[in-house]
Amino acid sequence: MKKLLIIYPHWYPSNLAGVHRARLTGNYLNEFGWKPIILTVKPEYYEEVPDTDMHRLFSPHFTEYRVDAWKAGKPRLIGDIGLRAFWSLYRKGKEIIRDEKPDFLWIPIPSFYTALLGRLLNNKTGIKYGIDYIDPWVRDISKDGSIRAHLSLWIAKLLEPIAVKKASLITGVAFEYYKPVLDRNFRIKNQKPRANNHYPEISTDIQSSRLKVRDSEYIIHNCEFPYGFDPHDHEIDLPGLKLPWDDRPGCKPIVYAGAFMPNSQMFLTVFFKAFAALDHSGQVSENVHLYFLGTGLYPHKRITAYAADYGIEARVTEIRDRFPFLHILNFLAKSDKLLIIGSTEKHYTASKTFQVILSKRPFLGMFHCESTAVQILKETKTDGYLIRYRPDEKEETFYLNTENVLHKFVVGKESWIPEYSALNSYSARDSARALSGAMEGY
């Protein structure tokens, strides 16, 4: 049994997206000959509200180490836990490598700063490491014009090349998330593309998972695999759980669950405009109500303000506070219908896509036409209410398409018969297989 050291500063009882990335993949590594070791931070240093049910979702195969960190403090000068715990993680990482002798180190990001631990620990111990892109590190977040956003971008451009320089593997939830760093640092120049013959023993395994190893273009091994899902998560029922719509007798809730992102604003505007047109024409049942749950403390315009712009604020409830993960899964499964609103960026692939599909409720999705989520919905035959965004399409055309799909979704009676077996190649087990295969050469 080989050993994989995973460094990720959040762990249960935190339910941030990165925790699910590490635990979903790690839950199944044991089946492929790898024992996961997690190096993380003690929960008293987290700023998030603890999710007390999270421990039910983790495999017993993890060996766990936790370290101290600086408190965020007041005033909150340093919030990023990757920075607050950086040297504690580094010191403990050296100790684990000395005592446990792991075969590989894998670091999901963000927190982005922990990627530097790979380089430092490699320099000190020689351990091979990989960086996993949950989100792009170097990305333009300066649209608001703030000094902090510009500084963040400058720091990212400075630190990312240092972190990845000695990496042996780059992985990510989508190729577009990490393609720019490959192009900047690892693209083969002035050569004809090479055949993918570095890992012939795993090429079939990777291909059967519909994952991609692009060694013909780059001098570093890389592969993409989605968050995936653990079917056991959806088997846990929470009896007696209070639902957000319990105080509305006869309610037919349409639920959106998850963070509301800046690049989703255009989709939401078009959706509300089309919904208002249906509502004002009397085509929407009085029992239909829209719930936006766990949207977060985003700085931009509130969802309820968008609803008010179109006179449908009475139809909309937003609860910005995060909910426990299992609460969300139970809300989705007990709703009438669902929404999944993506991003105008083509590389965006929503981790909650699988949660929504496995809720077994009809849902309307809005995504960039090139998002990997679109392919997933097509394969599972859950694209009956899919609205594809094409950047070169006229705004009026996009609106009319949204209005037509929304009418079918809210008013129509179309059958909903997904093909759940098509999800097998996107499961957490398949992601663990892909990661273990990519590490086998080391």
Domains 2-230+427-439 and 233-422 share a fold: yes
**CA 11/CA 67 separation, integer angstroms:** 12
Enumerate the domain spans of the chain: 2-230+427-439, 233-422
Amino acid at 327: H
Q: Are strands 2-7 and 104-109 parallel, antiparallel or unpaired?
A: parallel
**CA 243/CA 330 separation, integer angstroms:** 9
pLDDT at 215: 52
Q: Where are the alpha helices (DSSP H) in 197-264?
A: 200-208
Q: Is residue 441 within a helix (H) or strand (E), and if so which, with residue range?
A: none
Residue 258, number of CB atoms within 10 A of its CB: 23
Angle at 431 between CA 429 and CA 436, to 5 degrees: 95
pLDDT at 140: 67
Longest Cα separation, the chain: 69
pLDDT at 144: 54
Q: Could you give the C-alpha distances from 91 to 98, 166, 290, in angstroms and in order?
A: 11, 20, 48
Q: For domain 2-230+427-439, say whether CATH 3.40.50.300 is its number.
A: no
Divide the 442 residues of the chain into consecutive groups of 10 and give the mean pLDDT of each group: 97 92 96 97 94 92 96 81 96 98 97 96 97 87 65 88 94 89 83 39 37 63 89 92 96 95 91 97 96 90 95 97 94 97 81 90 95 91 96 94 96 88 90 92 61
Q: Is the pTM of this model over 0.75?
A: yes
Query: Which regions of 380-435 does DSSP assign to beta strands (E)?
Result: 386-389
pLDDT at 211: 42
- Domain 233-422 top-level CATH class: alpha beta
**CA 348/CA 178 separation, integer angstroms:** 12
pLDDT at 345: 84
Structure tokens of 395? Answer: 């705004």
**CA 424/CA 221 separation, integer angstroms:** 24
Distance from first CA to last CA of the chain, Å, rounded?
14
